[in-house]
Amino acid sequence: MADYYETLGVDRAASDDEIKKAYRKLSRKYHPDIAGPEFEDKFKEVNNAYEVLSDPDKRRMYDQGVDPNNPNAGGFGGFSNMGDMGDIFGQFFGGAFGGGTSGPVPRTQPGRDALASASIDLRTAVFGGTAHVRINTFSLCQECSGAGTSNGAQPTTCPDCNGQGFRQKVVRTMLGQMMTSAPCERCEGHGTVINNPCPSCMGHGRVRTTRNVGVTVPAGINDNSRLRLANQGEVGEGGGAAGDLYVDVHIRADKQFTRDGDDLHCWIQVPMSWAVLGHDLTIDTFDGQQTISVPAGCQPEDTVTIKGLGVTRMRQSDERGDLVAHVAVQVPTKLSDSERALMEQFAASHDADASHVAQSSRPSVTGSKKGFFSKLKDALS
C-alpha cells in the first residue's frame, strides 16, 4: 500500500493545514504544465495522496490499513479490532455497516498554476525592467463574482440526493446484497443545484479570458530563469483562489554585446596605425558613449576593460560587472606606392635576417610584450 504521508512529505500526526500546505507546494512543483509531461505520474500520486489525507473519513480508513483509492490492495491485517469493520465497510458500501461518506463536494475549488514565457532584450537583463506576457486562462466571472448564479440567487438543495452529494443503491455481490454509493448525477456530487446559472459562466464562476500581465524583471536576471507571480494563474471553479503564474524569461541575442556571467564583451575594429601608435576612440555602451584608449603597440585580440559597465549583480544590486572590448586590427589589403615603400623599408630593416617562423602549440608569452606593431612603431619613429 502506498505511503501517502511519505508522498506529501508530512508526519502521520500532521494537521489538515500542514497537509494542505504540503499538497499545494508539491502540486505546483510537479504540475505537468510547469515541470513537464514526464512528471504527470508524480502529479497523480500527489493528488491521490491528498484526496485521501484531506478527507477525515478516508484518512481514518487509510490509517486503519485500507487504501480508499485501491481497496483491493489493502488487507485486513491493519485492523486493530473488529469494531473498525463498520467504518471500513461504511466507506465502501455507503453506510450499510453504519459508516458515513465524505459528503458533498464543495463548488469552490483552488485554481491551477499557469505557465508563460517572456522574451527580453539584453539591456533589460542588465538594468531590470518590465516584460509583458499574454496568457489565456480562467478568470473570475465579473457578472456573478464567482457565485455561478444569476441575479444573486442561491443554489438549492438537490432533490435527488437531499444535499448529500451521493446516492445509494443496492447491488448483488458474492457476499449477498450490499449498499453502495456514487456521486449524484444531477448535482455532480455538490449536494446543491443551480437553477438559474449565470449566463456568462454557465454556473462555473469563472470564464476563459485572454489578458496581459506585467512581469517585473530583476536586474541581472539570467537567461532561462523562471519567475513566480503569486495568484496570477488560473481562477478555480466557483471563483476559487487563483493559482500562481510562472514565467520563463529568455534573453534575446544583442547585436553589439555578448554576455559572460556579469561581464559584457564587444569587439572593435581599429586601423593598423591606431594599434601601432595608440589612439583614443568612442564606443557605445548601455550607459551611453564612453571613451577608451587603445594603447600603442596593441596586439590583435588584446582587450580594453571598462570597470562597472557590465551586468548588475543579482545579489549585489549596487555592483556591476565589467565591459570588455576586444581589439581587432584591420590590416590594409591595398597599399599605395609610398605606403609599400615604407613597409619594404621596415621589412629590410627589421626582417632581413628572418629565415623561419616560430611554431608552438600555444601562444608565446615573453617578458617583453613588444609584437609586430610595437616594433613597427619603433622603426618608424
Known binding-site residues for Zn(2+) equal 141, 144, 158, 161, 184, 187, 198, 201
The dihedral through the CA atoms of 266, 128, 309, 312 has a sign that is negative
Instruction: Decide the pairing of beta strands 258-260 and 263-271.
Output: antiparallel
Indicate the Cα dihedral angle 125, 130, 136, 141, nearest 10°: 150
Return the C-alpha cell found at 150: 444569476
CB 115 within 8 A of CB 248: yes
Task: Return phi, psi of residue 249, to 5°.
Answer: -105, 125
Centroid of chain to Cα 63: 36
Question: How far apart (Å, rounded) are the C-alpha atoms in residues 58 and 4?
Answer: 12
Question: How far apart (Å, rounded) are the C-alpha atoms in residues 246 and 36?
Answer: 13
Q: How far is CA 153 from CA 157, 183, 198, 206, 354, in A?
A: 13, 24, 10, 17, 100
Return the C-alpha cell found at 6: 511519505
Return the C-alpha cell found at 125: 537583463
CB 249 within 8 A of CB 227: yes
Binding residues, as ranges, are 141, 144, 158, 161, 184, 187, 198, 201
